[in-house]
């Protein structure tokens, strides 16, 4: 069994590669010339190919070489605030990259099963009586990032319908764990706490909107879900991947602070507030559970502890 993981050097990509290697799957991953290799340096048995996903020739060459049975399409500009600062970059990266992959699979006639990393951000504005959110909920995206993910998913549907490609979009709610990029809230707070503990920073933690509610799943549960999506999921059907529980960001902050022995002052940083923030994301993963048996296994407290310890172990 051969798998292609786009964005293998990223947070989810590195965990996906570990999961696949443990199952004796042959793993090829895409990197770009400026990719940071820290997360995958320990993985000796993966094949890395330099590929610019926005370049159709580069992607066609990649797929001709690899001919994967499974494609986990994880590469993306995935930080919501960046999508307001550079909307066009997010749109061209996320949509253009995926068009090139689907086109190459179609042209080469590959029978690959393809998972698309779509997002709960696609739901955007959610009414109070719409939680927990089912896949049938209307999509009301609130950021260029969310719009790019809606488009990625619809392209997947279109290629499934038009050409019969075996495509499974996963709408994943927030996910975190060791190696989470330092921009994202759980990692950002953990890194700030760890820097304070190391004496690298004054005992003040800077925060943005603490009232938002998010549904967090451990990344190690998420990559297992992606595997099951391709093993057992129905082509052309979208699945929520979520924990079914949500926390305010204030609660996330309080939990992380409770793991530290230092007294830390909390300060709002206006630069961390967004033009529009999704108020609540709480997912219903029943459809995916019914199809695959998946449910999250790692408790949130464990994930947060592991994440904080990850930052504490960094130089």
Can you give the binding site for ligand GDD, defined by CB under 6 A? 78, 80, 119-121, 173-174, 183-185, 188, 207-210, 212, 214, 249, 272, 274, 277, 281
CB of 246 to ligand GDD, least distance (A): 11
Phi, psi angles (nearest 5°) of residue 245: -135, 145
Phi, psi angles (nearest 5°) of residue 86: -135, 70
Q: Which lies closer to ligand GDD via its Cβ, residue 23 or residue 272?
A: 272
For 47, half-sphere exposure in the C-beta direction (CA atoms, 13 angstrom radius) is 12
CB of 77 to ligand GDD, least distance (A): 9
Q: Which lies closer to ligand GDD via its Cβ, residue 230 or residue 249?
A: 249
CB of 216 to ligand GDD, least distance (A): 9
Two tokens at 108? Answer: 């080469």
Grouping H, G, I as helix, E, B as strand and the rest as coil, residue 119 is: strand
CA 58 to chain centre: 24
Sole residue written with tokens 């590469």: 75
Q: Where are the alpha helices (DSSP H) in 23-139?
A: 56-66, 80-85, 87-91, 97-108
CB of 201 to ligand GDD, least distance (A): 14
Q: Which lies closer to ligand GDD via its Cβ, residue 68 or residue 296?
A: 296
CB of 291 to ligand GDD, least distance (A): 21
DSSP string of 65-79?
Answer: HH--SEEEE--S---
Strands 247-248 and 213-214: antiparallel
Let me know the angle formed at the C-alpha of 78 by 241 and 17, rounded to the nearest 5 degrees. 65
CA distance 74 to 16: 9
CB of 200 to ligand GDD, least distance (A): 18
Q: Which lies closer to ligand GDD via its Cβ, residue 115 or residue 119?
A: 119
Q: Which lies closer to ligand GDD via its Cβ, residue 167 or residue 207?
A: 207
Q: Which lies closer to ligand GDD via its Cβ, residue 58 or residue 92?
A: 92
């Amino acid at each position: 069994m051969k798998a292609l993981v786009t964005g293998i050097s990223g947070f989810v990509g590195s965990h996906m590669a570990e999961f696949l290697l443990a199952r004796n799957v042959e793993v090829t991953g895409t990197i770009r010339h400026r990719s940071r290799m820290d997360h995958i340096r320990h993985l000796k048995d993966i094949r890395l190919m330099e590929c610019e996903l926005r370049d159709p020739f580069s992607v066609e060459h990649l797929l001709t070489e690899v001919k994967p049975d499974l494609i986990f399409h994880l590469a993306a500009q995935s930080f919501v605030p960046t999508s307001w600062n550079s909307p066009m970059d997010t749109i061209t990266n996320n949509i253009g990259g995926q068009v090139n992959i689907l086109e190459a699979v179609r042209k080469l006639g590959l029978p690959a099963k393809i998972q698309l990393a779509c997002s709960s951000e696609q739901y955007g504005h959610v009414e109070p009586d719409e939680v927990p959110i089912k896949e049938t909920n209307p999509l009301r995206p609130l950021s260029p990032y969310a719009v790019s993910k809606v488009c990625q998913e619809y392209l997947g549907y279109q290629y499934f319908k038009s050409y019969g490609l075996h495509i499974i979009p996963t709408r994943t709610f927030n996910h975190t764990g060791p190696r989470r990029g330092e921009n994202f809230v759980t990692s950002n707070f953990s890194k700030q706490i760890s820097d304070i503990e190391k004496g690298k920073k004054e005992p003040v933690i800077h925060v943005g909107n603490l009232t938002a509610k998010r549904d967090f799943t451990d990344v190690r549960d998420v990559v297992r879900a992606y595997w099951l999506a391709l093993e057992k999921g129905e082509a052309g059907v979208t699945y929520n991947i979520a924990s079914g529980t949500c926390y305010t960001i204030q609660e996330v902050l309080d939990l992380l602070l409770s793991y530290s022995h230092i007294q830390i002052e909390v300060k709002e940083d206006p630069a961390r507030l967004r033009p529009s923030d999704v108020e609540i994301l709480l997912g219903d993963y029943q459809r995916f559970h019914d199809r695959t048996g998946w449910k999250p296994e790692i408790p949130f407290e464990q994930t947060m502890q592991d994440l904080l310890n990850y930052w504490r172990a960094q130089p």
